[in-house]
């Protein structure tokens, strides 16, 4: 599996792995194109107005909107044969 430009990713497809460049480059897994799932429990939350109803590539664990440069399909899990000693 090779990395592909993020512009070629299917926004309506299954979750993908993405590469986010920058000062702390990282690979994120199980990322999908979606709206924020943030639910505010405090009236003093400043992230609500800017994040609600904005689509983007999101990390499922933090709901952070990512700016990836590349993507790839999630690799298949190991088969039963791969796990035998």
Over residues 4-56, the pLDDT tens digits come to: 999 999 999 999 999 999 999 999 999 999 887 665 655 555 555 555 567 89
- Residue 67 pLDDT greater than 60, yes or no: yes
Mean pLDDT for 56-61 is 88
pTM greater than 0.85 (yes/no):
no
- 17 CB-near residues (< 8 Å, 6+ apart): 27, 28, 29, 30, 31, 71, 72, 73, 74, 75
Dihedral pair phi/psi, residue 78, rounded to 5°: -60, 145
Question: Looking at per-residue confidence, does 62 or 69 come out higher?
Answer: 69
């Amino acid at each position: 599996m090779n990395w592909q430009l993020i512009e070629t990713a299917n926004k309506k497809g299954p979750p993908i792995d993405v590469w986010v460049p920058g000062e702390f480059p990282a690979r994120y897994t199980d990322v999908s194109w979606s709206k924020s799932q943030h639910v505010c429990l405090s009236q003093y939350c400043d992230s609500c107005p800017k994040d609600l109803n904005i689509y983007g590539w999101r990390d499922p664990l933090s709901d952070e909107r990512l700016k990836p440069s590349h993507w790839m399909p999630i690799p298949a899990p190991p088969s039963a044969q791969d796990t035998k000693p």
